[in-house]
Amino acid sequence: MSARQMKLGLFLWATGHHIAAWRHPDAHVRAGIDIDHYIALARTAEAAKFDMVFCEDAAGLREANVNIASQTSRSIGFEPISLLSALAAQTERIGLVSTASTSYNEPYGLARMFASLDNLSGGRAGWNLVTSASPIEAANFGATGLRPHADRYARAREFATVITGLWNRRPAGHDGESFSVRDPLDIPPSPQGAPVMVQAGASDDGKDLAARTADVVFSAAQTFEEAKAFYDDLKARLTAYGRQPDDVKIMPGVAPIVAATKAEAQAKYDALQELIPDNVGVALLSSYLSISDLGRYPIDGPLPELPESEGMKSRQALVIEQARRDGLSIRDLARYFAGARGHWRIVGTAGEIADELQARFEGGAADGFNVMPSWFPGELDAFATLVVPELQRRGLFRKDYEGRTLREHLGLKRPA
């Protein structure tokens, strides 16, 4: 297969990415306490030849308001490195990528966890570096307040330097601002050399760190233009670090709803949207905008003027731009946003969805996509049985794995 191939990740999230997924009549409501559910999802993705499954993470509840939290399924779930270690024993080929925080771990400890996952899976592990922007998480780690954005990224940069040094057997010994490590790693390298480095930060600091250290970048972009701008920006930053454009794969999130006809797909989407309680939608939007009191504004009115947040600068800008562009009320935006959490939503037939993915892939706006099914297992099954064969028919996606490791799937070099 000579033509450039699309990369596909399956973004796992308990009952599904839609905030009301758990209320869908066919959604598996006990997903967050059922390992067999995750094994089945990973095997479905592996049978469809996905490059990887990916787990997002937060070391704390996702919603401070307990009444709002209790109307969603997001307060409980598996710690993802444990989850993926279990999946490693139950899958053969698919990559296993987990999020972990540089703010609440030590590099030597995290290096051991991922090196172990990498060995358990025969070279299929990846680490998604996050700096953790939530004050709820901070309160579980002795902090009285969230550290400023710039400080978190300084720590993250040092963390990335130390952990890649440990994985790549660079000479031992580090004594820096945030960390010190004396010994080499006591876990030997896997067949892929070192876990794949993933990042999703879209701020200036985040993009620079990604350009310096990441193999894969997850992003969020609604329009082709936004996706293209992000793609060009990030690839351009690589030269400053002596890297080639192909050294980093950019994979925007996509939340597809697919059915045999567009009308059927739209009906599936509308039915899910109806399951979102207003207070939950507004709370989710507030949390993404990093403000706590969006609920005090009229729900049918426009989004108020907002100060720049310390938590998620880039995501906030994305959401605000969306609202202004489409003239949305708070309720409109909350519902729209709750459906895909700021990611790109496509509702349509397999052919229509493949068209859209192909346009971004061939138009220089993506190297692949991180697929976010609205609810599990149904929307993953629909994507795997309808969209993947269409992509394969067009020669855009592999019909079988060529390699055994995640680096081989992604076409990445072994680390030096």
Task: Cite the annotated binding site for FMN by residue number.
Answer: 57, 99, 149, 153, 203
Tally of CA atoms within 13 A in the half-sphere of 78 that contains its CB: 25
The pattern of x and - marking residues 205 through 244 that bind another protein according to CB under 8 A reads: ----------------------------------------
Number of amino acids touching another protein (CB under 8 A): 66
368 φ, ψ (degrees, to nearest 5): 170, -170
Tell me if 287 contacts another protein by CB under 8 A: no
Q: Which is nearer to another protein, 26 or 246 (CB)?
A: 26
Please tell me whether residue 154 binds another protein under the rule CB under 8 A: no
| CB closer to another protein out of 107 and 368 | 107
Choose, by CB under 8 A, the member of 5, 44, 71, 287 that binds another protein. Answer: 71
* 250 in Cβ contact with 217 (< 8 Å): yes
The b/e string for 182-210 (b: 16+ C-beta within 10 A; e otherwise) is eeebebebbbbbbbbbbbbbbbebbbbbb
In this complex, which beta carbon is closest to another protein, that of residue 158 or of residue 355?
Answer: 158
Structure tokens at 10: 């399956």
Q: Does the footprint of another protein cover residue 85 (CB under 8 A)?
A: yes
Residue 180 lies near another protein (rule: CB under 8 A):
yes
Residues numbered 239-278 forming contacts with another protein, rule: CB under 8 A? 275, 277
Terminal C-alpha separation, the chain: 27
Q: Which is nearer to another protein, 65 or 329 (CB)?
A: 65
Q: What amino acid occupies position 336?
A: Y
Q: Which of residues 42-61 bind another protein (CB under 8 A)?
A: 58-61
Which lies closer to another protein via its Cβ, residue 79 or residue 151? 79
If binding is defined by CB under 8 A, does position 79 make contact with another protein? yes
Please, what is the minimum distance in Å from the beta carbon of residue 218 to another protein?
21
**Is 292 an interacting residue with respect to another protein (CB under 8 A)?**
no
* For residue 377, cis peptide bond before it (omega within 30 degrees of 0): yes
Smaller CB separation from another protein, 58 or 317: 58
Using the rule CB under 8 A, give the single segment among 114-122, 215-223, 293-301, 355-363 that binds another protein.
114-122
Using CA of residue 128, residue 130, residue 135, residue 141, what is the dihedral sign? positive
| Strands 180-181 and 174-175, bridge-based pairing | antiparallel
Those residues whose C-beta lies under 8 Å from the C-beta of residue 154, and which sit 6 or more positions away, are 177, 178
Nearest to 192 by CA among 84, 120, 91: 120
For 273, 290, 343, the CA distances from 331, given in Å and listed in that order, are 11, 17, 18
Nearer to another protein among residue 27 and residue 303 (C-beta): 27
- Sole binder of another protein in the list 4, 47, 70, 270 (CB under 8 A): 70
> Applying CB under 8 A, which part among 27-35, 291-299, 351-359, 362-370 lies near another protein?
27-35
Q: Cα-flanking dihedrals φ and ψ of residue 78, to 5°?
A: -85, 145
Tell me which amino acid residue 141 is. Answer: F
Q: How far apart are CA 11 and CA 5, in angstroms?
A: 19
Stretch binding another protein (CB under 8 A), from 115-123, 213-221, 290-298, 331-339? 115-123
Could you tell me the two tokens for 11? Answer: 């973004």
Please pick, from the candidates 139, 291, 320, 328, the single residue that binds another protein as defined by CB under 8 A.
139
From residue 190, how far is each of 55, 115, 237 by CA, in Å?
A: 21, 7, 29
Handedness of CA 311, 314, 319, 325 (dihedral sign): positive
Using the rule CB under 8 A, is 196 a contact of another protein? no
Binding another protein by CB under 8 A: which of 11, 13, 22, 231?
22
Instruction: Single out the segment in contact with another protein by CB under 8 A; choices: 134-142, 335-343, 350-358, 379-387.
Output: 134-142
Annotated binding site: 57, 99, 149, 153, 203
> Half-sphere exposure of 250 toward its Cβ, with a 13 Å CA cutoff?
27
Contact positions vs another protein (CB under 8 A): 22-25, 27, 29-30, 32-33, 35, 39, 58-62, 66-67, 69-73, 75-79, 81-83, 85-86, 88-90, 104-106, 108-109, 112-113, 115-117, 119-120, 139-144, 175, 178-183, 186-188, 275, 277
